[in-house]
Structure 1
Amino acid sequence: MTLPLNPDMAATFPPPVMEARRWLDGVVFPADRPLINVSQAAPMDPPPPALRQALAEAALNEPAAHLYGPVLGLPALRAEVAAQWSAAYGGEIAATEVAITQGCNQAFCAILSTLARAGDEIILPTPWYFNHKMWLDMQGVGSVPLPTGPGLIPEAEAAERLITPRTRAIVLVTPNNPGGVEYPAEVLRAFFDLAKAKGIALIVDETYRDFDSRPDAPHDLFADPDWRGTLVHLYSFSKAYRLTGHRVGAIVADTARLAEVEKFLDTVAICPSQLGQIGALWGMLNLGQWVAGERAETLARRAALEAGFARLDGWELLGCGAFFAYVRHPYPIASPELARRLVQEAGVLLLPGTMFRPADDPAGDRELRIAFANIDSAGIGTLIDRLAAFKP
């Protein structure tokens, strides 16, 4: 007997990072050429010792850390996000306009569940973040691709032509995953004005905001007194504080929207991880200088990768920033095959561009994503050397 399977789930592609890891099965990497894994944008080191100590003390001494908490998150963490974001973006955000989630992926799923049902449409710039596409596919919600062109920056004018009566939101990721590019403030403003005029949501995923190269606020949308009812902001504490395993993310939206989000969160997880939230709050209060150092190191790695690609014949760096480089390769080989060969012949694991584009988009066959924040500048040099030595 075969149990029934939701056809929307069956039609959703497998998790790309897990698929890529299967390419390692049976491959032996010699000691003088260990694997360079640039497939996933996640810190490979644990949190700094002081944060680990704070987590340990909370686990030992705070009984509430092991119990259910508020569905929308710890009040102190919500208040701290509201205060720091208000200062950073030059606007006014209340603690009641912040919800804490089990990672930023859950934040996306939660907010989309309040906006769209099967048959509705969401506009996603391409190349897109594959988990966004996967969630929409699982829910039977249409993903409308918005091509971004050679600069990987979407245009509001092009998005407007894609809006239909079924459109519920436009999703932007900046700094971008997978492209790495930082969307200019005027681009975000144009999309906000478009979304507001059309009565749809603008979802801005700023998971990598702590690693933006610009010294000032990346946009002024929260300074607009009319941001509520249009703008939704998503964030992850995982990258800044190395809390990936604790799963802590955030949503900033108007209180009416968060009342609907609460239904989703209560049903799916009941509450976010208490220890993770304690760690995130401790980090926000104590690790400002440390995060600044992490940002400086990430920017240094970005510069090293940009310099490295300048000496690679035929390769083109399409976008670079935060944790990612998005590149075009010079070979007459489709990127999925090339990615597999790079594992076996160069000891490099990265993701093909086909994982970030619609199946019928030929651009993906020439593209690759490199999560360069996982390796230091010396490792980036080795990566460039291996790509230069690869012979198709």
Structure 2
Amino acid sequence: MPTFNPLVARLSPPPVPSVAAWARDYDGGHGPLIDLSQAVPGYPPQADMLTWLGEAASSREAAGYGPIEGEASLRAAYATHVAELYGAPLAARHVQITAGCNQAFAAAVIALVQAGDTVLMTNPYFFNHETTLSMLGINVDLVPCDAADRFVPDIETIEASLHPRVRALALVSPNNPTGAVYPADRLADIYDLCRRKGIWLILDETYRDFLDDTTKPPHAIFSREGWQSHFVSLYSFSKSYCIPGHRIGAITGGVQMIQQIAKVMDNLQICAPRVGQMALVKAIPSLAAWRDENRREIGRRRAAMQAVMAGLQGWKLESIGAYFAYVRHPYPDISAEFVAAKLAALAGVVCLPGDYFGEIQEGFLRFAFANADVETIGLLRRRLEDFKLPGI
């Protein structure tokens, strides 16, 4: 009898649908369901964006294959945007368009790392990164991050985790699941370490458009000499433009890196979806003010989440930023998965358990607060105050 690939078969089912199933037992007794499980924008796309998507969808051009590296016009528009953001000389040739940021990560890893090699990630980590590496036969080693340091990785700990089989370090900033924002000087030190050790730094910057401080670039790595040989930046258009269903992401890397990734993309998908690409060519320069207002709105939701957690007995907000709050729950001897399942069924609050993001994360829950407005977030405090596990 044929068998499945054990590297895939051993993986757990996709976590978000599994968590959504817990809410089916909620009887509505505390009010409407509060869904803080998935990182999706809690507001619709801008009206012009919907028009541009519709126009692109009805075009004959969008029905055909596009360039493997992405629409030339989008690569140029995005490169101009990134060059302005980082104050660095970037061009279209440095950009590969992908079908979302998960695909960007997979394509970059396939281009850089062989089966049997090792990629370092932080603990906690973004689970899709870990499962992607696992199904490719790539080993994963973890760099522990301390709640006392707001889960920002320590340079000495990273260096101590390196060994000859490590080919890359994969980071996410602003972080998923903790929301932690890695300071620019820390990222510079990490880049310098990776360069000295001859490994790649893969930085997922999906949530960078929701940083508080927009007066400075998130980092200065693109201005460093020789960055093309050691650094890759990943991005998703899903959050900033509210189009997760259109699956558009981007890789920014050296020209030789993009050439290798194009080989991977030709086998993964041939080209990213063209409708979203065509609309984004217009959206990137036109919707800057709209994106900035969304950044401020997410900031208001973050403040509402902080107010909910302030002085809440038994609960502790350990880290918050961009889209996520990482919260220590009041039951240290009980797995986060069990607590989250009961929180959904008994209190109507859906979130992800820390168990899904790495070892020794059983004491934490991830609240994706960007998915709810300020008023809805305010309802969370009473739900958490009243929540008690049965029999405890």
TM-score, with normalisation over the residues of structure 1? 0.96
Aligned to 1:66: 63
Aligned to 1:335: 336
- Asked if 1:174 is matched to 2:173, the reply is yes
* Mapped partners of 1:179, 1:158: distance in 2: 18
Question: What one-letter code is carried by the residue in structure 1 that aligns with 2:198?
Answer: G
- Asked if 1:79 is matched to 2:76, the reply is yes
* Mapped partners of 2:25, 2:39: distance in 1: 24
Asked if structure 1 preserves the Cα contact closer than 8 Å seen for 2:234 and 2:250, the reply is yes
Question: What one-letter code is carried by the residue in structure 2 that aligns with 1:130?
Answer: F
Question: 1:149: Cα distance to partner?
Answer: 0.6
Question: 1:117: Cα distance to partner?
Answer: 1.9
Asked if structure 1 preserves the Cα contact closer than 8 Å seen for 2:122 and 2:153, the reply is yes
Aligned to 1:53: 51
Larger RCO: 1 or 2 (CA < 8 Å, sep 6+):
2
SS of the counterpart of 1:154? coil
* Mapped partners of 2:281, 2:123: distance in 1: 34
| Alignment deviations for residues 258-302 of structure 1 (CA, whole Å, 9 cap, x no partner) | 111111111111101100111222210210000000000000111
Asked if structure 2 preserves the Cα contact closer than 8 Å seen for 1:36 and 1:348, the reply is yes
* Mapped partners of 1:84, 1:202: distance in 2: 22
The 1:251–1:212 alpha-carbon spacing in structure 2 relative to 1, beyond 3 Å, is same
Aligned to 1:222: 222
Question: 1:27: Cα distance to partner?
Answer: 4.0
Question: 1:125: Cα distance to partner?
Answer: 0.6
| Alignment deviations for residues 314-372 of structure 1 (CA, whole Å, 9 cap, x no partner) | 211111011100010122432111111111110011011000013xx3xx221000000
* Mapped partners of 1:82, 1:48: distance in 2: 22
* Mapped partners of 1:198, 1:323: distance in 2: 32
Aligned pairs, number: 385
Aligned to 2:312: 312
RMSD (Å), alpha carbons? 1.2
Aligned to 1:377: 374
SS of the counterpart of 1:161? helix
Asked if structure 1 preserves the Cα contact closer than 8 Å seen for 2:70 and 2:272, the reply is yes
Aligned to 2:234: 234
* Mapped partners of 1:12, 1:260: distance in 2: 28
* Mapped partners of 1:311, 1:48: distance in 2: 37
SS of the counterpart of 1:123? strand
What fraction of aligned residue pairs are identical, expressed as a percent?
42
- Asked if 1:38 is matched to 2:36, the reply is yes
In structure 2, stretches of 5+ residues that fail to align are none
Aligned to 2:296: 296
Question: What one-letter code is carried by the residue in structure 2 that aligns with 1:75?
Answer: A
SS of the counterpart of 1:164? coil
SS of the counterpart of 2:229? coil
Aligned to 1:258: 258
Question: 1:56: Cα distance to partner?
Answer: 1.3
* Mapped partners of 2:82, 2:380: distance in 1: 37
Question: What one-letter code is carried by the residue in structure 2 that aligns with 1:278?
Answer: M
* Mapped partners of 1:13, 1:33: distance in 2: 31
Asked if structure 1 preserves the Cα contact closer than 8 Å seen for 2:7 and 2:136, the reply is yes
Question: 1:34: Cα distance to partner?
Answer: 1.5
Which of 141, 147, 154 aligns to 2:138? It is 141
SS of the counterpart of 1:169? strand
- Asked if 1:213 is matched to 2:206, the reply is no
| Alignment deviations for residues 6-36 of structure 1 (CA, whole Å, 9 cap, x no partner) | 1111222221112212223454435x61111
Question: 1:210: Cα distance to partner?
Answer: 0.5
SS of the counterpart of 1:73? coil
SS of the counterpart of 2:203? strand
- Asked if 1:109 is matched to 2:110, the reply is no
TM-score, with normalisation over the residues of structure 2? 0.96
- Asked if 1:323 is matched to 2:320, the reply is no
Question: What one-letter code is carried by the residue in structure 2 that aligns with 1:214?
Answer: D
SS of the counterpart of 2:295? helix
* Mapped partners of 1:134, 1:122: distance in 2: 12
* Mapped partners of 1:58, 1:347: distance in 2: 39
Asked if structure 2 preserves the Cα contact closer than 8 Å seen for 1:91 and 1:224, the reply is no
Asked if structure 2 preserves the Cα contact closer than 8 Å seen for 1:248 and 1:280, the reply is no
* Mapped partners of 2:234, 2:313: distance in 1: 38
* Mapped partners of 1:225, 1:94: distance in 2: 16
In structure 1, stretches of 5+ residues that fail to align are none
> Greater shift after overlay, 162-171 or 329-338?
329-338
Asked if structure 2 preserves the Cα contact closer than 8 Å seen for 1:233 and 1:253, the reply is yes
| Alignment deviations for residues 65-112 of structure 1 (CA, whole Å, 9 cap, x no partner) | 111100010111111111111111111112101000000000000000
